[in-house]
Amino acid sequence: MLLHESFEASARRLPDKTALVAGSQRLSYRALHARVLHLVRRLRAAGVGRGDRVVLLLEPDAHYAVALHAVLRAGAVVVPLMPTTKSDKLRFVLQETEAVALLADSRLRTAWAPLRSACTSLRCVVQTDELAGDGEALAGCADIEPCAAIDQDLAALIYTSGSTGRPKGVMLTHHNMVSAWRSVQSYLQLREDDVIGLALPPVFSYGLYHLLMGLGIGATVVLEAQAAFPVKVAQMLERERVTVMPGVPTLFAALLGLSQLAQFDHRSLRLLSNAAAALPVSHIERIRCAWPQARLFSMYGMTECKRISYLPPEELERRPGSVGRGMPNQEHWLVDEQQRRLAHGSVGELVVRGSHVMRGYWRRPQETAERLRAGPNEGEAVLHTGDLFRSDAEGYLYFIARMDDIIKTRGEKVAPREIEDVIHEIEGVTGCAVVGVADEVLGQAIHAYVTLDSESLLSERDIVRHCQAKLESHMVPRQVRKVDELPKTESGKVRHAALRGESDGSSTATGRSS
């Protein structure tokens, strides 16, 4: 099965049912499918075909859902990016993937228009104002022959940050993604009559899979673009009578922080899930009190294989800090530094084996070799996650830390190196180290420590402003501190662990963004 075929089956089976709600738009399966076919024709006319990479620079609205399924139907590879992606990263991704098409929000023209001449592989740019149209009016158009793709073809390149600081494209085939979908569905048990409230960006795998799965089973998906305002999310849950809501710690914390939360009617909620970062135990109790009728799944995964484990709701009472024992159609184990398999009750790196494991990183053989290594069966590779876990006597997993210095903040992974490189661009900066510090709301807050030359008049606020201009909002340091020197090892490497233990000082600047 190919990734988009389930949506097409839903459109044939439930043409008049509401498929998507996005702002004031409500699209039936018939109308959504018609828009998809309309865009497929446009892409094919531009020469986009099997295996071509197509970058999506779109807001989380109806255009995004149309573009996602149209690219897949055309046999091409989806490369989703946040609409807030800065021009340097956008240029990098367009050039590295040799993208042949860019589907972009018209309102973001200042970000992508100057790059067209620098990206020689681009054959076409389709703007959202060109995609606008009456889906019902388009519904009379004839269907199109599907592309001759197979499930070993790439479906998506999802960019994530690694320890090197350079964004890496995770190569996922149709088989990878359908396998992950089936395993997740086997325990979540999403239903055709569900209304999925999606306040997460569909760019990253957590939100992306819920959009695909929801439309694939014939449910209704509600895209909430104003997730930064928790009252808007609470209103959406009530207005649309949402039954399923995937979340991350920051979203749940924001909702729980609403003084009027109890005034909303959320009795329709039957299922909540959490991933991206672990929920604080105190938040788990508050979630269960706020929505007592809903089952809560605590989950763990990574872009390289989508999902790894989940904790059944009935185990929350006994093991609130656990992320479970793995999911169906998967094998996993812990290894020590010598790569020896460990028994239950040990601490080690998590290794995962399964059909959901990525093909590798796009054109990054060295980074791929670090993550995909020889498995127990001849000719097979398994995923070394780089994450440190402990397991209890029954095999339940408990996340400890990243084995590298990746920071998880606001449900996103951030490489310190990306931020350090941007800060080092500032004249007068002589040294910089970025670390993640535990934060109940954010998961981890980003702190930057900076050394300056003796003549520099830079303030902490100057550094924050530079970061706000160059980085996506979730990557801007929450605090910046000027220091005389950075702690280092004997070999000259910065000791990030020592900085994590530092308490807040008086000479700091805050880089919060709404």
pLDDT for the residue 514: 30
Range of the domain at 346: 320-402
Interval 416-438: pLDDT, tens = 778 888 898 898 887 888 999 98
- SS3 for 193-208, per residue? CCEEEECCCCCCHHHH
Q: Are residues 454 and 482 in the same domain?
A: yes
What is the model's pLDDT at position 164?
Answer: 45
What pLDDT tens digit does each residue of the chain (514 aa) get?
899 999 999 999 999 999 999 999 999 999 999 999 999 999 999 999 999 999 999 999 999 999 999 999 999 999 999 998 989 999 999 999 999 999 999 999 998 999 988 899 999 999 998 776 555 556 555 678 878 899 999 999 999 864 345 789 999 999 999 999 999 999 999 999 999 999 999 999 999 999 999 999 999 999 999 988 999 999 999 999 999 999 988 788 889 888 899 999 999 999 999 987 677 777 788 899 999 999 999 999 999 999 999 999 999 999 988 999 999 999 999 999 899 999 999 989 999 999 999 999 999 999 999 999 999 999 999 999 998 898 999 999 998 766 766 788 988 878 777 888 889 889 888 788 899 998 988 999 999 999 888 788 999 999 999 999 999 999 999 999 999 988 864 334 577 778 876 644 434 555 543 3
CATH number at residue 486: 3.30.300.30
Residue pair 266/316 in contact by the 8 Å Cβ criterion:
no
pLDDT at position 493, please? Answer: 54
Pair (93, 233) in one structural domain:
yes
Residue 309 counted as domain residue: no
Residue 235, C-beta contacts closer than 8 angstroms, at least 6 positions apart: 264
Write the single-letter amino acid at 368: T
Nearest to 236 by CA among 268, 280, 209: 268
pLDDT of residue 138: 61
The CATH number that applies at residue 138 is 3.40.50.12780
Query: Pick from 402, 437, 466: which residue ends a domain?
Result: 402
Instruction: Report how far apart, in Å, the C-alpha atoms of 162 and of each of 343, 370, 418 are.
Output: 29, 11, 10
In the listed set 378, 402, 426, which residue is the last one of a domain according to the structure?
A: 402
Query: Coil, helix or strand for 54?
Result: strand
Pair (57, 162) in one structural domain: yes
pLDDT tens-digit map of 329-375: 999 999 998 999 999 999 899 999 999 999 999 999 999 999 999 99
* Domain membership flag for residue 243: yes
Query: Looking at the domain assignment, is residue 126 inside a domain?
Result: yes
| pLDDT at residue 512 in the model | 46
Q: Are the C-beta atoms of residues 313 and 295 closer than 8 Å to each other?
A: yes
Burial 460-478 (b: 16+ CB within 10 A, else e): beebbebbeebbbebbbbb
Tokens at residue 298, please? Answer: 């605590």
pLDDT of residue 505: 44
Query: Angle, nearest 10°, between helix axes 205-217 and 62-73?
Result: 80
Report if residue 370 sits inside a domain.
yes
The answer to whether residue 434 sits within a structural domain is: yes
Return the pLDDT at 166.
76
Given this model, what pLDDT does residue 392 score? Answer: 96
**Whether the Cβ atoms of residue 31 and residue 135 lie closer than 8 Å to each other:** yes
Quote the pTM value.
0.81
Domain count, the chain: 3
- Based on the fold, state whether residues 292 and 324 are members of the same structural domain: no
Q: Measuring CA to CA, which residue among 328, 195, 381, 375 is closest to residue 270? A: 195
For 295-428, where are the E strands, in sequence order? Answer: 295-300, 309-311, 330-335, 347-354, 360-361, 372-374, 381-391, 397-402, 407-409, 412-414
Question: Per the domain annotation, does 250 fall within a domain?
Answer: yes
